Amino acid sequence: MTDSRDLLADRLVGDVTTAAEVLTVHLGLELGLYRALAASGPVTADQGLPGIAPRYAREWLEQQAAAGYLDYEDGRFSLPAAHAEVLLDAESPYHVAPLTKLFAGMASVLPELLRVFPTGEGIPYEAFGRDVRHGIASINRPMYLNDYVQSWLPAVPDLHRRLQAEPGARVLDLGCGLGASSITLARAYPRVRVHGVDLDKSSVEEAGQAAAAAGVADRVTFAHGDARVVVGAFDLITIFEALHDMADPGDVLKAAQAQLTPGGSILIADEKVAHEYAAPADPVERFHYACSVLHCLPATMAETPAEAAGTALRAPTVARWAAGAGLAYEELPIDSPFWRFYRLRHL
């Protein structure tokens, strides 16, 4: 029988190796090394990489090939086309490379986590910095570009029709982040007007710049503010991977309910975890729990939460909040590897 000590020791060595390799990928992305390889084709260690000290270039190239991120043949290192898509193509559904940015951002606050765990304090979202803000946005962006209007909304036919109809629908995007969801919706449905709201000021500023660059600033606006105090009448309110981060999600849904037009809907996407806690968990739930410990829960705790949900937001919890807000609750049959979808409406 295998000694359980051996199993855990082997696992920890493997986990630390993987975590360290993730940070070397982050280096390659931030320094433009993969992009340089994609442009140049195969290089030798002696040729090195542009802008990188020769000894560092050699070590990074050798490490990347040893880890399987680069190919190595006849003394030359190259980036396979399939790997380039995963690492560099920001619109590809396979582009998960921004996870390394998220990981680096979460790791950067470890000293603060050691401080707040005993005290019960939180770490404000903005303290996690650009890496977390852009990491989350860049991970989600391919889903908005490839799935949002192509499969998610058509799976709810009456909602899809309302967004196409006259008069144009008014949409509120709560927790809009850098604005990709708002902009994608406006480009797909030229009659709609979208208003995005986020508690992070830097995100809202960047979202406004993105809307202008996309040519939709006349129909897409953004505001820095609290999701509980937005005033208006909206045909659709979206909350994508943000409900679990809100300090008072029950009150957010109550406020949203009051802003819905007759026949309007709240469309929520949040983490795809089991309906009940069980251990050990599947890989997706393990990922969400790790993010919860390192980022989502500390950021929520910084806001004096009414209920600190954490990343592992379960469907029965969403149903309870919906009932408390006087909303009808429905899980939607939308296929997504990471998110579960809910539709809430007036009773």
Return the percentage of the chain with pLDDT > 90, whole number. 97
State yes or no: pLDDT of 57 exceeds 90.
Answer: yes
The mean pLDDT of 47-58, rounded to a whole number, is 97
pLDDT for residue 304: 87
Q: What is the pLDDT of residue 73?
A: 97
pLDDT score of 300 more than 80: yes
Are the C-beta atoms of 7 and 88 separated by less than 8 Å? no
How far apart, in whole angstroms, are the C-alpha atoms of residue 262 and residue 345?
A: 9
CA 126, CA 108: separation in Å to the nearest integer?
Answer: 12
Q: Is the pTM of this model over 0.85?
A: yes
pLDDT at 157: 96
Judging by DSSP bridges, how do beta strands 170-174 and 193-198 pair with one another?
parallel
Which residue spans within the chain are E strands per DSSP? Answer: 71-73, 76-78, 170-174, 193-198, 220-224, 234-240, 260-271, 327-332, 339-346
Mean pLDDT for all residues in the chain:
96
Residue 230 is predicted with a pLDDT of: 85
CB 227 within 8 A of CB 206: no
User: Does 174 score more than 90 pLDDT?
Assistant: yes
**Residue 258 per-residue DSSP state:** H
Query: How do residues 225-283 score in pLDDT, each as one tens digit?
Result: 999 988 899 999 999 999 999 999 999 999 999 999 999 999 999 999 999 999 999 99
Q: What residue ranges define each of the domains in the chain, with the CATH number in brackets?
A: 4-88 (1.10.10.10), 106-346 (3.40.50.150)
